[in-house]
């Protein structure tokens, strides 16, 4: 079975279910947003911002946020949520910003859609000295049996898989730090349908296939749910952060056999002044705790 993280279609598949996505997906814990970006105001570029689930936390922390997404329908929902924010319709592979523009680049539940070979050097290019690429994912906690049963119907989540080989081995970034946080999403008979509709491989099904999947989930909910009071769906919010190491250099033209003028020195990221250092992670992480109170 396809999983929620498997990129079976381009990221633009979410635009057709933007309203369901906005209603049905969980937000992000404030503590996670602080770990990703720090609690002092910074210049933040958010890639794949979607409908603004993380964006509103970044704005609340006082950051100067520029939100982007490749799908205009998702950005329409974001602007309705945060009408004053700067937005751009763009992808992670071609960022229309000057070199060393941002302190942090953050991506929430979208990094798996990037073409990492193109996106990572582009992200490194727009980061300032000491800047970080920060990634976050909301994963249903399938260590709990009933959540795993739900995963049998809508696709499984696997926690603890790290940021992936592309970032771990990237020459543009240093070692990857990680942290995790707990949260619970209150769902009811209506919002669980929005959650299912917003999953990529369900959104790509024909109407009959979508309706069949919804019937299966509603039958499960009616068996496990608590009627109008709903139920609490547990998540692990996994965060990863890596400090930029080197700036990608443009491809040089073939050397001239007649021009002996020395080329101008190109400043490295380490030569740029006035940029704050990376934020250290908190020391009180309790991610090993397994809480199963669904009330």
- What is the average pLDDT across 64-79? 96
> What structural domains and CATH numbers belong to the chain?
11-140+157-184+234-249 (3.40.50.150)
Report the run of H or E that residue 219 belongs to, with start and end: helix 207-224
**pTM: predicted TM-score of the whole model, two decimal places:** 0.79
Per-residue pLDDT for 56 more than 90?
Answer: yes
Q: Which of 28-32, 90-94, 196-200, 274-278 has the lowest mean pLDDT?
A: 274-278
- What is the average pLDDT across 9-22? 72
pLDDT band at residue 248 using 50, 70 and 90 as cut-offs: confident
Q: Is 295 exposed, middle or buried (0-12, 13-18, 19+ CB in 10 A)?
A: exposed
Can you say how many angstroms the Cα of residue 207 is from the centroid of all Cα atoms in its chain?
A: 28
pLDDT at residue 270 in the model? 35
Report the run of H or E that residue 57 belongs to, with start and end: helix 55-60
pLDDT at residue 159 in the model? 85
pLDDT at residue 131 in the model? 97
Closest by alpha carbon to 223, among 295, 149, 156? 149
Between 223 and 216, name the one with better pLDDT.
216
Between 13 and 148, name the one with better pLDDT.
148
Q: Is 166 exposed, middle or buried (0-12, 13-18, 19+ CB in 10 A)?
A: middle
- Calpha distance 195→180 (Å, rounded): 22
- Calpha distance 287→141 (Å, rounded): 12
Per-residue pLDDT for 281 more than 80?
Answer: no
Q: What is the mean pLDDT of the chain?
A: 82
SS3 call for 178: strand
pLDDT at residue 295 in the model? 31
Q: Is the dihedral of CA 208, 210, 211, 216 positive or negative?
A: positive
- Calpha distance 44→10 (Å, rounded): 25
């Amino acid at each position: 079975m396809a999983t929620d993280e498997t990129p079976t279609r381009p990221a633009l598949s979410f635009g057709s279910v933007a309203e369901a996505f906005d209603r049905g997906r969980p937000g992000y814990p404030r503590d996670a947003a602080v770990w990703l970006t720090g609690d002092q105001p910074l210049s933040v570029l958010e890639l794949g911002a979607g409908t603004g689930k993380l964006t509103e936390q970044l704005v609340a922390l006082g950051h100067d946020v520029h939100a982007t997404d490749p799908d205009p329908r998702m950005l329409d929902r974001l602007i309705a949520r945060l009408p004053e924010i700067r937005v751009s319709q763009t992808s992670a592979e071609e960022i229309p910003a000057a070199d060393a523009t941002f302190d942090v680049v953050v991506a929430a539940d979208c990094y798996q859609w990037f073409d990492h070979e193109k996106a990572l050097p582009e992200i490194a290019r727009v980061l300032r000295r000491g800047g970080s690429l920060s990634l976050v994912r909301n994963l249903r906690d399938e260590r709990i049996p009933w959540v795993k049963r739900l995963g049998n119907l809508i696709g499984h989540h696997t926690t603890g898989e790290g940021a992936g080989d592309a970032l771990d081995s990237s020459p543009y970034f240093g070692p990857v730090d990680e942290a995790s946080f707990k949260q619970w999403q209150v769902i009811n008979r209506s919002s669980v349908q929005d959650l299912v509709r917003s999953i990529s491989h369900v959104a790509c099904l024909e109407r009959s296939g979508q309706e069949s999947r919804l019937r299966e989930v509603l039958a499960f909910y009616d068996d496990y749910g608590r009627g109008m009071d709903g139920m609490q769906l547990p998540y692990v919010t996994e965060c990863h952060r890596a400090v930029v190491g080197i700036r990608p250099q443009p491809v040089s033209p073939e050397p001239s056999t007649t021009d002996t003028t020395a080329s101008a020195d190109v400043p490295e990221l380490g030569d740029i002044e006035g940029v704050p250092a990376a934020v250290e992670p908190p020391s009180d992480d309790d991610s090993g705790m397994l809480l199963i109170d669904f009330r």
